[in-house]
Amino acid sequence: MSQIENQPLLQPYHKGALQLSNRLVMAPMTRSRTNNPENVPTELNAEYYAQRASAGLIISEGTPVSPQGVGYINIPGIYSAAQVEGWKLVTQAVHAKGGKIYAQLWHVGRMSHPDFHNGALPVAPSAVNPNDQAFTEEGFKPTVTPRALETAEIKGIVADFKKAAQNAVEAGFDGVEIHSSNGYLFHQFFSRCSNQRTDEYGGTIENRARFFFEVLDAVKEVLDLSRVGVRLNPSMHEQFGITVDEETAPTFEYIIKRLNDYHLAYLHLTEASPKVAELPYAIKEIAKHFRPLYHGTLIINGGFTQETGNKVVEDGLADLVAFGRPFIANPDLVERFAENAELNAPDYNTFYSNTGEVGYTDYPTLSEVALAK
């Protein structure tokens, strides 16, 4: 597979507002490099994303829509004027290299800690402790039992997402992705294990999905939905307090079928982990299961390689493939795939560390390696 024309991943993708030079997506990845009191993106962040601008599409790291949505140290927000100005550095740098970038809008819900909220409890659908770890200034700390949101408060979070989408447009992003995945706030509403509400946001599948669709309806008032993506993880199990049960598959089938009415930029799904292999009611092959149910652009994510990524596109199970760790260590991942070149190995010790450029912007490209010889 040495020729570009023989690799589906390296072919352009044109559908609606997505006009992409190839089908490699840089997955959203927390890197904890925004080390300043206001969580404002910096020139270092801009350099990092610009290095990877040859990706067909970059999805930014999760960026909280409000102070209440924060649950990790040194992550850039998108709720203040200063943060919007900081993100302009990033989007301008990516666009100068011919790239496209979406902002991932995030609220972690109960996956936070009082340390982030002046001692106040994190919020969630219900007062259920995920019994996991929160990454604070003092290292990892056990999560706490969160405070259940009052019904009236949920409208305020909907407004936060709407404002964040508006901020993303002002910052120059090409679109946004709603982070409704991986055990964070939306996922907490979807799941029976974390949502024990008795109001209109709990109980039935429709009620547990209500908040999510209210956010989409609000966001479309400030941004055409052809520039809005959604991320879901239908078979996430025993992570961040989320467990798969008999209603999990029907819940995500309901959500994804209903998304056909929204004409989004894309649906971004994560493949199932081995943890669900023995669960009879869990979906084991996510792309294969949901491809027939969703009629728009589908991104698949989850441990893909050059070979398996090309195959999933060739087989028609996805349109685009999101790569995470390979993009961390290989800013020129697209070029390396085109040349079937060896990949740099990622340094796991610097994924979330406050090490500045080390393990962030110092991975060599093929051209840099050639020059050094």
Q: Which residues are catalytically annotated? A: 184
The SS3 assignment for 213 reads helix
Residue 25, H or E segment: strand 24-26
Cβ contact 130:97 at 8 Å: no
**CA–CA separation, 200 vs 206, rounded Å?**
9
Cβ contact 324:301 at 8 Å: yes
| Block residue for tokens 């199932």 | 272
**How many CA atoms are closer than 13 Å to the CA of 168, on its beta-carbon side?**
32
Nearest C-alpha neighbor of 267 from the set 282, 287, 249, 240: 287
**How many CA atoms are closer than 13 Å to the CA of 201, on its beta-carbon side?**
23
**CA–CA separation, 3 vs 339, rounded Å?**
8
The pairing of beta strand 133-136 with beta strand 139-142: antiparallel
**CA–CA separation, 257 vs 218, rounded Å?**
20
Give the burial string for 86-104 (b: 16+ CB within 10 Å, else e): bbbbbbebbbeeebbbbbb
Q: Residue 55 corresponds to which amino acid?
A: A
| Block residue for tokens 């209603």 | 247
